[in-house]
Chains A and B, each alone.
Chain A
């Protein structure tokens, strides 16, 4: 004990230092280790999560990109199909129109021809009638002076024959 005392060892001081250490350990644990180690843990968890999320986002982006390309391809196909169909339709329609126009023109021409023919007939008929009447009148006038009854009758018949033959 004498040697220990010479070295300065005092039980009271020893206990005080042990208590000191205990207090320091408690305070540092409470105010330093817990908050900071918790923060380190939280931060590494966050970083891990962020990396995971970034990976997911990248995957999603790739899939979206692929989907977009597929959609684009599909849309292109559809568009070309529509254009093709429209062209075909237009061609058909124009052909039909052309046909219709042709037939209409034909109808008009036919109608005109018919009309001309009828008009011609009408004109001829009226001309014949007028001509016949003229001839009759002329013949009557001429024959009135020169003819007897018999001749007049024969001539009338002949003239009527001629007229009917001419028409």
Chain B
């Protein structure tokens, strides 16, 4: 058994290390775009098949966004980011549960030992992926905040000399923005990576029947983590558009 916190390099293109995680990210992207193209190939007023399915998914997400923002225009503005995060993370998590992910690979000799380098790995089981999403989420939140209440008003949230208390609160806010980055990325990474390790251990100990409940659990965790990431982004987006009352 070989457990690596970092995603393993499978091959490289012109010096760029293509890891198993980024490979799966590409597969997820291709799958999602292909499914979208199929769903919207013939968009009709009476939906059928893939169009119907995606309409249900998008409408559910849109309703959820609406329930948080309470403003249709704002919902439509936030929707693409939230929905993309949700679907990208969800499909990445679920693809990681498919048989073959983590077990199909290339045997390589690494530091004198023969190790299996898996060809596929859950996207979220790589900190680069989760940190990238966290960065996008936090940066977009700042941009939306500045765009909706103005640069100086938004900046006064973090740098405020009106009284010592507000100054201290501002510093805390600044720290919390950085903490968001860490909590966002490590929450998702930790859950999915831990799930992978757990499943690997379970399969190693008892290959049949016993890992099944854990597999179900991981399906659930994959959904919940995608949801949490998207919902937190949404809530932070909404909060950034509200002027602070103090």
Contact = CB atoms under 8 A, between A and B. Distances in A.
Contacts of A1: none
A8 B122 CA distance: 14
Nearest to B85: A21
A16 B22 contact: yes
Contacts of B17: 10, 12-13
A23 B19 CA distance: 19
A24 B29 contact: yes
7 contacts: A12-B16, A14-B128, A17-B128, A17-B129, A17-B132, A27-B29, A40-B55
Given A13-B128, A32-B36, 8 more contacts: A9-B128, A17-B128, A24-B29, A28-B80, A31-B37, A32-B40, A37-B58, A46-B45
A29 interface: yes
Contacts of A13: 7, 17, 19, 22, 126, 128
Contact of A20 (B29, B36, B58): B29
B10 to A, nearest CB: 12
Contact of B6 (A7, A12, A21, A40): A7
Contacts of B221: none
Interface of A: 6-10, 12-18, 20-25, 27-29, 31-33, 35-37, 39-40, 42-43, 46
B76 interface: yes
Given A12-B16, A40-B58, A40-B59, A25 B29 contact: no
Contacts of A37: 58, 62, 76, 79
Given A8-B7, A32-B39, A39-B45, A25 B81 contact: yes
Between A22, A24, A28, A32, the greatest number of chain B beta carbons within 10 A of the residue's beta carbon is seen for: A32
B40 A31 contact: yes
A35 B131 CA distance: 30
Top 6 A-B pairs ranked by shortest CB distance?
A8-B6, A17-B132, A32-B36, A13-B128, A35-B40, A31-B36
Interface in B7-27: 7, 16-17, 19, 22, 25-26
A8 to B, nearest CB: 2
A27 B33 CA distance: 7
Between A6, A12, A13, A43, the greatest number of chain B beta carbons within 10 A of the residue's beta carbon is seen for: A13
B136 A21 contact: yes
Interface in B107-130: 126-129
A21 B132 contact: yes
A36 B43 CA distance: 8
Given A9-B131, A29-B80, A36 B5 contact: no
Contact of B84 (A17, A21, A35, A39): A21
B56 to A, nearest CB: 10
Between B19, B76, B81, B127, the greatest number of chain A beta carbons within 10 A of the residue's beta carbon is seen for: B127
A12 B129 CA distance: 11
B84 A8 contact: no
B79 A33 contact: yes
A131 B45 CA distance: 126
B33 A6 contact: no
A155 B51 CA distance: 150
A20 B33 contact: no
